[in-house]
Amino acid sequence: AHWRSRAPAGEQGRWAWVVLRHEIDYRRALLPGETASARTWVGRRRGPRFDRFVRIDGPDGGMCAQTRSEWVLIDVATRRPARVPEWMETMFG
């Protein structure tokens, strides 16, 4: 959804993102009725790969969970990994 909401319409069909790895560190449970807030950001580009981070905080501001996911950019035409173009890094960085 993040990609579709930000990427130019003409580029969306040219590229696909595939997740290679998810890591989740749980710190504490969110209880029914509690409100959480989440923040997400991308890490540095490494060829065709990007790390994406998420932090989820509970109503007291304390961390409930944090994640790191490793994604690879795929060129849809060739079905092969592709180096992330600078315009993408700028758009999502």
Considering the entire predicted model, what is its pTM?
0.75
Q: How far apart are CA 4 and CA 16, in angstroms?
A: 10
pLDDT top residue among 58 and 47: 58
Give percent of the chain with pLDDT exceeding 70. Answer: 98
Contact 43, 70 (CB under 8 A): no
To which residue do tokens 């029914």 refer?
32
CB within 8 Å of 77: residues ≥ 6 apart: 14
Amino acid letter, residue 73 = L
pLDDT of residue 93: 63
